């Protein structure tokens, strides 16, 4: 046991938090956090953010902008220092794309057959005409070969992701998605290639039978010119400066996304996707942990960046924007703790999840070992859902930090609940007593992480971390 490198590393990390743990055990820190992080405060935040008045906080929308103003006001109340380019706002110039109405066409020629798509969805920022272009099959847009190898070629992508993530430096002539969904927003300065999503079963079957890599097929396509409209989106950012003259220039980031799905569908019935648990619960937790820390007499040694993110539901737009335009240096960011779905305790098919929270990528870093003692002090278990931990690691905003090399995880009470991405995800259904209990444990752990002289690390013994470790 003692010879295992990750065991030794984890043991050292746990030992490094002993000073803060002793403070917590004395009761003073935990009690002060509990006095300020209350059930009613969380209920007030969630009930407003998830109200019909904010119309589901779609990206972009008036409701999203109102939510951003609310979060900024709460950061101001907590005494955080504004960290954006416009007070508490990090302004992100994006473009909304409306495809051309008529004339889109796609043809796949393979094995002597000519297959034409009867229908498709389009995301492009200019008109495009391709004739018998070479193609490369990839598993996902961000697993494509280097830009110079795909320049001028078509990427055929078999992906189950809800939204494709296209590298900003991709030089492909066209991306063709055979699964997932195409984004309708892009960063204004990003030169991403045009995209088609094709659902024709014959074309999908033909591509499924091809090997990954260059394929014996050619692509012809016509995409009419779209309408492109500028959109201003905003992350909301506030900093609690650290107390140590040296370590204050290093940061722990606490994140949550404040958007949801907006208003969808037509006709009668409830069409507002309020997003109370997903993720007004995480945003409220972000706000109230900031407020709890703002009232502490002693600050942790490192600084903490509180960051509310837009556009997670459209493919982690806000976190990916932040990773490309960091407010504080990523090299000096020791960890990202991302908050998602902290209010519902009714995990689908598994009953109530009380007094505990999960970590995605549980074995990818030593963050679980660092957080577990604080959870224990607060009476909350830090658990590993082995069936979902790794699968959900890339499905929230922590992923953008991980790709940049920052040790990260998403903390949640449930992964799947009955009203997930449905209009029924409304604020009265949350368990605020349990949410406050979990949030106090997270706050205590966050303080300990920011107060420690040690930094979290990727688990070098886990081969899944290689890409993240190389990015650091």
When pLDDT is cut at 50, 70 and 90, the band that residue 120 belongs to is confident
When pLDDT is cut at 50, 70 and 90, the band that residue 217 belongs to is very high
Residue 7 is predicted with a pLDDT of 45
Question: What's the CA gap between 419 and 403, in Å, rounded?
Answer: 30
Residue 28 is predicted with a pLDDT of 85
Closest CA to 353 of 405, 439, 414, 273: 414
Taking residues 188-195, report their average pLDDT. 75
The DSSP 8-state label assigned to residue 464 in this structure reads G
- Per domain, the residue ranges of the chain are 5-94+231-471, 100-225
Residue 190 is predicted with a pLDDT of 66
When pLDDT is cut at 50, 70 and 90, the band that residue 41 belongs to is very high
The DSSP line for 328-378 is S-GGGEEEEEEE---S--EETTTEE--SEEEETTTTTBSHHHHHHHHHHHT
When pLDDT is cut at 50, 70 and 90, the band that residue 171 belongs to is confident
Between 194 and 220, where is the model more confident? 220
If DSSP codes are grouped into helix, strand and coil, which group holds residue 461? Answer: coil
When pLDDT is cut at 50, 70 and 90, the band that residue 144 belongs to is low
Token pair of 231 as six digits: 């959109």
Taking residues 196-205, report their average pLDDT. 89
CATH of domain 100-225: 3.50.30.30
Task: Examine the pLDDT at 39 and tell me if it is beyond 60.
Answer: yes
Any idea which of 208-212, 253-257, 286-290 has the lowest mean pLDDT? Answer: 208-212
Residue 123 is predicted with a pLDDT of 76
Task: Examine the pLDDT at 180 and tell me if it is beyond 60.
Answer: no
Q: What is the pLDDT of residues 412-426, one digit of tens each?
A: 999 999 999 999 999
Percentage above 90 pLDDT, the chain? 70
When pLDDT is cut at 50, 70 and 90, the band that residue 24 belongs to is very low
Residue 141 is predicted with a pLDDT of 58
- Compute CA 85 distance to the chain's CA centroid, rounded to the nearest angstrom: 22
Any idea which of 171-175, 286-290, 378-382 has the lowest mean pLDDT? Answer: 171-175
Q: Which of 9-18, 143-152, 234-243 has the highest mean pLDDT?
A: 234-243
Residue 21 is predicted with a pLDDT of 47
The whole-model pTM stands at 0.85
Taking residues 436-449, report their average pLDDT. 98
Q: Residues 340, 396: contact at Cβ < 8 Å?
A: yes
Q: What is the pLDDT of residues 93-109, one digit of tens each?
A: 998 888 776 788 999 99
Between 430 and 175, where is the model more confident? 430
Residue 295 is predicted with a pLDDT of 87
CATH of domain 5-94+231-471: 3.40.630.10
If DSSP codes are grouped into helix, strand and coil, which group holds residue 87? Answer: coil
- Which bin fits 470, alpha (ψ -120 to 50), beta or left (φ > 0)? alpha
Residue 341 is predicted with a pLDDT of 98
If DSSP codes are grouped into helix, strand and coil, which group holds residue 254? Answer: strand
Question: What's the CA gap between 273 and 365, in Å, rounded?
Answer: 34
Cβ-defined contacts of 27-36 (< 8 Å, 24+): 29/296, 29/444, 29/447, 30/377, 30/378, 30/440, 30/444, 32/292, 32/295, 32/296, 33/292, 33/296, 33/440, 33/443, 33/444, 33/447, 34/440, 35/295, 36/288, 36/291, 36/292, 36/295
Token pair of 423 as six digits: 């209009």
Token pair of 118 as six digits: 């009867």
Closest CA to 411 of 428, 435, 432, 427: 435
When pLDDT is cut at 50, 70 and 90, the band that residue 169 belongs to is low
Taking residues 334-349, report their average pLDDT. 95
Question: What's the CA gap between 188 and 185, in Å, rounded?
Answer: 9
Q: What is the pLDDT of residues 71-92, one digit of tens each?
A: 999 999 999 999 999 999 999 9
Look up tokens 């979060």; give the residue.
71
Task: Examine the pLDDT at 34 and tell me if it is beyond 70.
Answer: yes
Mean pLDDT of the chain: 89
Cα of first residue to Cα of last residue in the chain, in angstroms, is 28
């Amino acid at each position: 046991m003692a010879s295992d490198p990750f065991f030794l590393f984890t043991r050292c990390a746990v030992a490094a938090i002993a000073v803060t743990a002793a403070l917590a055990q004395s009761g003073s820190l935990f009690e002060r956090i509990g006095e300020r992080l209350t059930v009613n405060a969380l209920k007030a935040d969630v009930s407003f953010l998830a109200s019909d008045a904010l119309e589901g906080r779609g990206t972009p929308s008036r409701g999203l902008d109102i939510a951003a103003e609310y979060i900024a006001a709460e950061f101001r109340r907590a005494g955080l220092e504004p960290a954006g380019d416009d007070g508490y706002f990090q302004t992100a110039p994006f473009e909304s794309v409306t495809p051309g109405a008529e004339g889109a066409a796609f043809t796949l020629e393979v094995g002597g057959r000519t297959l034409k798509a009867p229908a498709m969805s389009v995301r492009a920022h200019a008109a495009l005409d391709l004739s018998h272009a070479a193609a490369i099959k990839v598993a996902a847009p961000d697993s494509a070969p280097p830009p110079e190898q795909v320049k001028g070629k078509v990427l055929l992508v078999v992906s189950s992701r809800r939204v494709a993530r296209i590298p900003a430096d991709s030089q492909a002539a066209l991306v063709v998605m055979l699964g997932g969904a195409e984004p309708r927003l892009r960063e204004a300065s990003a030169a991403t290639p045009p995209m088609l999503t094709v659902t024709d079963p014959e074309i999908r079957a033909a591509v499924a039978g091809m090997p990954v890599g260059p394929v014996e097929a050619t692509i012809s396509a016509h995409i009419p010119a779209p309408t492109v409209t500028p959109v201003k989106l905003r992350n909301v950012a506030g900093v609690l400066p650290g107390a140590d003259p040296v370590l204050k220039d290093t940061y722990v980031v606490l994140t949550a996304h404040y958007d949801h799905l907006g208003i969808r569908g037509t006709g009668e019935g409830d069409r507002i996707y309020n997003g109370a648990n997903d993720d007004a619960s995480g945003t409220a937790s972000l706000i109230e942990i900031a407020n709890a820390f703002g009232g502490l007499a002693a600050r942790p040694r490192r600084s903490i960046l509180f960051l509310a993110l837009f556009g997670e539901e459209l493919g982690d737009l806000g976190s990916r924007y932040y990773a490309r335009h960091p407010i504080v240096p990523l090299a000096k960011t020791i960890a990202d703790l991302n908050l998602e779905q902290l209010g519902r305790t009714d995990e689908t098919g598994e009953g109530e999840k009380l007094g505990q929270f999960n970590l995605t990528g549980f074995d990818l870093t030593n963050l679980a070992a660092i957080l577990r003692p604080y959870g224990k002090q607060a009476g909350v278990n830090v658990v590993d859902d082995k069936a979902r931990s790794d699968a959900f690691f890339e499905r929230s905003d922590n992923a953008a930090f991980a790709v940049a090399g920052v040790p990260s995880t998403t903390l949640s009470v449930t992964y799947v609940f009955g009203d997930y991405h449905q209009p029924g995800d409304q604020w009265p259904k949350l368990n605020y007593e349990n949410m406050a209990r979990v949030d106090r444990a997270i706050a205590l752990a966050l303080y300990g992480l920011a107060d420690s002289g040690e930094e979290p690390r990727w688990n070098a013994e886990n081969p899944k971390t290689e890409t993240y470790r190389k990015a650091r």
